[in-house]
């Protein structure tokens, strides 16, 4: 690299530039709206996914999450339902016109993800510095949620985003999901400070995952509210039709009624800070047909 080039020039925010908006099938992430992405930690069965998609849509969220390939600490733990899970996710979400977000760990599966119609590729905390994976998702025309490595500095995280942008894909959404510190009382420490800092440092939209931060369902409401108050452009929340029966991350999943109550609360928090919680599905806003990804600077 030439010495006078900024280390993360493509994702850096120029002083006079407003934030970018990443569109997922016409749904904006960034700008004035706050977007909710919700769904189970892992894709389990068709009935579970159908109930989850119905709950996500009924509460007014516009995108669905669900992991088909799970990065587990133990090789003996449930690893996900794999390619079959991808199809369960897309089929359940399609019935409610919800674009889907799912984690890609293995670069060899990128084409499979695209063929399955994955709308947003999630790069998980454990893969944030898998540079070959970042380079490959940088070459495709699909939005990417780049989660912060659990021990990554902001600079390392922005450099990881730069890897994706350098390949030509600037449809990048950063996701703060909690970091490791000396504290052991909860799963991770939600770095709320990162939100305003990033909004100044980069033009990319910033979302927050309150579920993996606290690791407990009862913490989600407080952490989610703090994130929106701090300026987050959206949230990634784990919701399961029957949390106690979840195959993965049962402690942190919200039940459908809890998620609906969270949406109501966030509506008020967003308004208090001059934003709008996007509940477009509820108000009948049309979802644009097919893949229609674009990134645009806000007017």
For Mn ion, the binding residues (CB under 5 A) are 41, 249
> Which residues, numbered 220-239, are part of the site for ligand PEP (CB under 6 A)?
none
Spatial distance between the Cα atoms of 172 and 143, rounded to a whole number of angstroms: 6
The residue within the footprint of ligand PEP, chosen from 26, 71, 117, 167 (CB under 6 A), is 71
Contact window for ligand PEP (CB under 6 A) among 2-10, 31-39, 120-128, 271-279: 120-128
Spatial distance between the Cα atoms of 27 and 61, rounded to a whole number of angstroms: 11
Residue 281 binding partner per list Mn ion, ligand PEP, none, with a CB distance cut-off of 5 to 8 Å that depends on partner kind: none
Residue 167 CB contacts under 8 Å (≥ 6 apart), including other chains: 134, 135, 136, 137, 138, 139
Extract the tokens encoding 15. 């002083």
Is residue 240 a contact point for ligand PEP (CB under 6 A)?
no
The residue within the footprint of ligand PEP, chosen from 212, 279, 281, 293 (CB under 6 A), is 212
DSSP 192-260: TTHHHHHHHHBSS-EEE-HHHHH-SHHHHHHHHHHHHHTT-SEEEEEB-SSGGG-SS-GGGPBPHHHHH
Is residue 177 a contact point for ligand PEP (CB under 6 A)?
yes
The residue within the footprint of ligand PEP, chosen from 30, 31, 67, 214 (CB under 6 A), is 67
CA geometry: angle at 122 spanning 120 and 133, to 5°?
110
Contact window for ligand PEP (CB under 6 A) among 16-24, 82-90, 122-130, 279-287: 122-130
Closest distance of CB 209 from ligand PEP, Å:
6
The smaller minimum CB distance to ligand PEP, of residues 167 and 215, is found at 215
Other beta carbons less than 10 A from residue 9's beta carbon: 12
Residue 87 binding partner per list ligand PEP, Mn ion, none, with a CB distance cut-off of 5 to 8 Å that depends on partner kind: none
Closest CA to 151 of 192, 182, 174: 182
Residue number with the shortest CB distance to Mn ion?
Answer: 41
The smaller minimum CB distance to ligand PEP, of residues 10 and 104, is found at 104
Is residue 80 a contact point for ligand PEP (CB under 6 A)?
no
The residue within the footprint of ligand PEP, chosen from 39, 124, 214, 241 (CB under 6 A), is 124
Other beta carbons less than 10 A from residue 109's beta carbon: 16
Contact window for ligand PEP (CB under 6 A) among 50-58, 92-100, 123-131, 286-294: 123-131
Closest CA to 245 of 79, 86, 47: 47
Sign, Cα dihedral of 101, 67, 162, 203 = positive
Q: Can you give the binding site for ligand PEP, defined by CB under 6 A?
A: 41, 67, 71, 124-126, 147, 177, 209, 212
């Amino acid at each position: 690299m030439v010495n006078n080039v900024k280390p993360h020039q493509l994702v850096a925010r120029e002083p006079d530039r407003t934030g970018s908006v990443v569109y997922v099938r016409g749904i904006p992430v960034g700008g004035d709206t706050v977007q909710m992405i919700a769904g189970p930690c892992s894709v389990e069965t068709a009935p579970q996914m159908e109930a989850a998609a119905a709950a996500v849509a009924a509460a007014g969220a516009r995108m669905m999450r669900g992991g088909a390939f799970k990065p587990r600490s133990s090789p003996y733990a449930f690893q996900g339902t794999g390619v079959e899970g991808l199809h369960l996710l897309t089929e359940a979400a399609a019935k409610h016109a919800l674009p889907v977000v799912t984690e890609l760990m293995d670069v060899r599966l990128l084409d499979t993800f695209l063929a399955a119609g994955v709308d947003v590729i999630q790069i998980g905390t454990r893969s944030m510095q898998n540079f070959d994976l970042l380079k490959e998702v940088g070459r495709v025309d699909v939005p990417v949620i780049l989660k912060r490595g659990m021990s990554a500095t902001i600079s390392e995280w922005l450099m990881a985003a730069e890897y994706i942008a350098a390949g030509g894909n600037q449809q990048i959404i950063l996701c703060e999901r909690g970091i490791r510190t000396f504290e052991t009382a909860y799963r991770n420490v939600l770095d709320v400070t990162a939100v305003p800092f990033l909004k100044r440092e980069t033009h990319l939209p910033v979302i927050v995952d309150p579920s993996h931060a606290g690791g407990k369902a009862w913490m989600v409401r407080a952490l989610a509210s703090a994130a929106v108050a701090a300026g987050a452009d959206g949230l990634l929340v784990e919701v399961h039709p029957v949390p106690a029966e979840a195959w993965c991350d049962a402690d942190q999943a919200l039940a459908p009624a809890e998620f609906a109550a969270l949406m109501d609360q966030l509506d008020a928090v967003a308004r208090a800070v001059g934003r709008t919680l996007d509940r477009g599905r509820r108000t009948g806003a049309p979802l644009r047909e097919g893949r229609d990804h674009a990134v645009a600077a806000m007017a």
